[in-house]
Structure 1
Amino acid sequence: MISNKVIWFEGMFLQPQHFQQQDRHTEFLFEKHLQLNNPNLWGMRELVFDQNLLAIGKIAFEKANGFFADGTPFDIPFIDQSPTPLTLNEQHSHCTLYLALPLKRAGSADAGQSTTNKRFRYQAVDQDIQDSVADSNKVQTIQVGSLATQLLTDHDDLSEYTVIPIAKLLEVESDKSVQFDKKFIASVIDINSISSLKQLLTELYELLNHRADALSARLTDNKAASTAEMIDFTLLQLINRYQPMLAYFRQKQSLHPELLFHTLIQLMGELATYTHKKRRCTTEATYNQKDLFNSFQPVIQALRESLSTVLQQNAMIIPLTRQTQSTWVGQIQESNMIKECAFVLSVKADLPSQSLQSLLLAHIKIAPVEIIQTLIGRALPGISINPLAVAPRQIPYHSDAGYFVIQKNHALWEKLIHSAGIALHIGHQIPGIQLELWAIHH
Structure 2
Amino acid sequence: MSLVRNVVWSEGMFIAPQHFQQFDRSLRAYAEGLARLDAWGDDYGFSMLELNAEHLAIGKLSVRRASGLLPDRTYFELDAEQSLDIRDGTVEKTVYLAVPLARLGTTQIGGRRGVHRMLSERVDLHDLSDHRNEPIDAEVSTLGVTLRIEGDDLSGFAVIPVARVLEKTAEGAVVLDRGFIPPSLAIAASDTLMDRLVDIVSLARARAANTGGRIEAIRSSQSPGSFLSERLELEALNRGLFALQNAVAQPATSARKVYGMLGDLTVALEAADAQVADPMLVYDPLDPGHSFDALFTRLRRKLTLQSEASVVALNWNTELFEKRRLLRVVVQPRLLAEGRRPVLSVSSPLGNATLQEIVPQVCKLAGITGIPELVQMGLPGIKLTPLGAAPAELRDKDGAAFFAVDTGSVHWQRFVEKKEALAMHVDDRIPTLTSTLYLLG
**TM superposition score normalised by structure 1:** 0.57
In the TM superposition, what are the counterparts of 1:328-347 in structure 2 within 5 Å?
none
> 1:165-218, CA deviations, whole angstroms, 9 ceiling, x for partnerless residues?
110000102321111101111222221232211122212212221221121111
SS in 2 for 1:90: coil
SS in 2 for 1:301: helix
1:221 CA drift (Å): 1.2
Match of 1:135 in 2: 131
Given the superposition, is the C-alpha separation of residues 281 and 308 from structure 1 closer, same or farther in structure 2, using an over 3 Å criterion? Answer: farther
Match of 2:52 in 1: 50
SS in 2 for 1:94: strand
What is the distance in 2 between the residues matched to 1:290 and 1:226? 51
The alignment status of 1:66 with 2:73, answered yes or no, reads no
How many residue pairs get matched? 281
Amino acid at match of 1:170: L
In the TM superposition, what are the counterparts of 1:1-12 in structure 2 within 5 Å?
none
Given the superposition, is the C-alpha separation of residues 300 and 158 from structure 1 closer, same or farther in structure 2, using an over 3 Å criterion? Answer: same
Given the superposition, is the C-alpha separation of residues 145 and 225 from structure 1 closer, same or farther in structure 2, using an over 3 Å criterion? Answer: farther
What is the distance in 1 between the residues matched to 2:235 and 2:222? 18
- Say which of 233, 236, 242 aligns to 1:235: 233
1:98 CA drift (Å): 0.5
Question: Contact 2:122–2:139 at 8 Å: present in 1 too?
Answer: yes
In the TM superposition, what are the counterparts of 1:190-229 in structure 2 within 5 Å?
190-222=186-218, 225-226=221-222, 228-229=226-227
**TM superposition score normalised by structure 2:** 0.57
Given the superposition, is the C-alpha separation of residues 200 and 37 from structure 1 closer, same or farther in structure 2, using an over 3 Å criterion? Answer: closer
Given the superposition, is the C-alpha separation of residues 50 and 201 from structure 1 closer, same or farther in structure 2, using an over 3 Å criterion? Answer: closer
Match of 2:298 in 1: 302
What is the distance in 2 between the residues matched to 1:71 and 1:15? 32
Amino acid at match of 1:231: S
1:143 CA drift (Å): 1.1
Given the superposition, is the C-alpha separation of residues 259 and 201 from structure 1 closer, same or farther in structure 2, using an over 3 Å criterion? Answer: same
Q: Identity, % of aligned pairs?
A: 24
Match of 1:122 in 2: 118
Give the RMSD, CA atoms, in angstroms. 3.3
Question: Contact 1:45–1:66 at 8 Å: present in 2 too?
Answer: yes
Given the superposition, is the C-alpha separation of residues 119 and 48 from structure 1 closer, same or farther in structure 2, using an over 3 Å criterion? Answer: same
Amino acid at match of 2:137: T
Match of 2:367 in 1: none
> 1:357-397, CA deviations, whole angstroms, 9 ceiling, x for partnerless residues?
xxxxxxxxxxxxxxxxxxxxxxxxxxxxxxxxxxxxxxxxx
Question: Contact 1:211–1:310 at 8 Å: present in 2 too?
Answer: no
Q: Which runs of 5+ in 1 are unaligned?
A: 1-13, 312-442
Question: Contact 1:46–1:65 at 8 Å: present in 2 too?
Answer: yes
Given the superposition, is the C-alpha separation of residues 195 and 37 from structure 1 closer, same or farther in structure 2, using an over 3 Å criterion? Answer: closer
1:40 CA drift (Å): 4.7
What is the distance in 1 between the residues matched to 2:306 and 2:264? 17
Q: Which runs of 5+ in 2 are unaligned?
A: 1-10, 14-18, 308-441
Question: Contact 2:163–2:177 at 8 Å: present in 1 too?
Answer: yes
Question: Contact 1:218–1:224 at 8 Å: present in 2 too?
Answer: no
Match of 2:92 in 1: 94
Structure 1, 85-94 or 179-188: larger mean CA deviation? 85-94
Question: Contact 1:89–1:173 at 8 Å: present in 2 too?
Answer: no
1:292 CA drift (Å): 1.5
Amino acid at match of 2:268: E
What is the distance in 2 between the residues matched to 1:126 and 1:207? 54
1:131 CA drift (Å): 1.6
What is the distance in 2 between the residues matched to 1:252 and 1:141? 41
Question: Contact 2:97–2:162 at 8 Å: present in 1 too?
Answer: yes
Match of 1:161 in 2: 157
What is the distance in 1 between the residues matched to 2:290 and 2:117? 31
The alignment status of 1:287 with 2:289, answered yes or no, reads no
1:118 CA drift (Å): 8.2
What is the distance in 2 between the residues matched to 1:52 and 1:307? 36
Question: Contact 2:96–2:163 at 8 Å: present in 1 too?
Answer: yes
1:102 CA drift (Å): 0.7
Based on CA coordinates, which of the two structures has the bigger radius of gyration? Answer: 1
Match of 1:354 in 2: none
Given the superposition, is the C-alpha separation of residues 133 and 268 from structure 1 closer, same or farther in structure 2, using an over 3 Å criterion? Answer: same
SS in 2 for 1:66: strand
Moved beyond 6 Å, runs of 4+:
33-37
